[in-house]
Amino acid sequence: MISNKNRTTLLFAICLFPLLAVSQSAHKSLRKGDAQYKDGRYSDAETAYRKADSEQSSVKSAYNLGNTLMKQNRYDEAITKYDDAAAKTNSDSQKANIYFNQGNAYYNKKEYQQSIESYKKALRHQSEDATIKENLALARLALRKQQLEQQKQQNKDNNKENDQNKDQNQQENSQQNQDQNQQKDQNQQKDQKDQNQNNSKDQAQSQNKKLSESEARKLLEIMDNEEKKVQQKLRRTDGGNKRVKKDW
């Protein structure tokens, strides 16, 4: 847990500039806001500090307003007010406190790199402050842990994406193989059909050829029979014309 030791107290308790530098009206609003802040009435304190800041903006009004916003977990607004406060002072102690609290705001947002930068700015103004060094070390450790978690998540996402691509490739290959097998089956069916048609044609041609040979044999038999009949008639005719020779 980062340390807020002696840092979230109001600026009037830790800075050395006189309240006489502000107008009486702004001074009254600041005092009212201080009392409400001490009582934990941060929303009311915010209203008082905003009034003081609008009446006469000062490092005190900007810084204390930033602290009330921090107490309400409105870190972005607090960071802006701390920048505003830092621009209004040349005091090293004030700048150290301002940048320290700004570093805490960034830390609470888990923006550790920005938190580190704010702590470094604080150290430039109070280089021997142990609390600032402690929080800087914690921010660096948190940043490293965050980076490792992000890398782990990135690797997980990459693995998930690779698995999805692998599944998609497998599905595409499976579909491609299925299409190829289907085409192969269709080609085989076509080849088989063509083969069957060729076999039927060859069978028909062979059958026609056999019928022609049968008819030829039958025709030869008829011709042989006719020849035999002719020969028989000729023999009968020759026998009838033969004369009987008489002896005289």
What local confidence, expressed as pLDDT, does residue 211 receive? Answer: 53
What local confidence, expressed as pLDDT, does residue 178 receive? Answer: 87
What local confidence, expressed as pLDDT, does residue 112 receive? Answer: 97
Which is nearest to 12 in space by CA: 47, 58, 48, 43? Answer: 58
Instruction: Indicate the pLDDT class of residue 172, thresholds 50, 70 and 90.
Output: confident
Is the pTM here over 0.95, yes or no? no
CA distance 101 to 8: 7
pLDDT greater than 90 at residue 226: no
What pLDDT, in 10s, does the model give residues 81-99?
999 999 999 999 999 999 9
Which is nearest to 105 in space by CA: 144, 135, 133, 62? Answer: 135
What pLDDT, in 10s, does the model give residues 120-136?
999 999 999 999 999 99
List Cα–Cα distances, 107 to 119, 133, 205, 242, 245, in angstroms: 10, 14, 97, 153, 162
Helices (H), the chain: 11-14, 24-38, 42-55, 59-71, 75-86, 92-108, 112-125, 130-240
What local confidence, expressed as pLDDT, does residue 208 receive? Answer: 54
What local confidence, expressed as pLDDT, does residue 248 receive? Answer: 39
Instruction: Indicate the pLDDT class of residue 11, thresholds 50, 70 and 90.
Output: very low
Lowest mean pLDDT among 1-5, 22-26, 34-38, 239-243: 239-243
Which is nearest to 79 in space by CA: 69, 87, 89, 88? Answer: 69
CATH superfamily entry for domain 11-148: Tetratricopeptide repeat domain (1.25.40.10)
Q: What are residue 185's phi and psi, to 5 degrees?
A: -60, -40
What local confidence, expressed as pLDDT, does residue 210 receive? Answer: 55
Lowest mean pLDDT among 100-109, 179-188, 190-199: 190-199
- pLDDT-above-90 percentage for the chain: 51
Instruction: Answer with the residue of higher pLDDT: 117 or 158.
Output: 117
3-class SS at 47?
A: helix
What local confidence, expressed as pLDDT, does residue 44 receive? Answer: 97
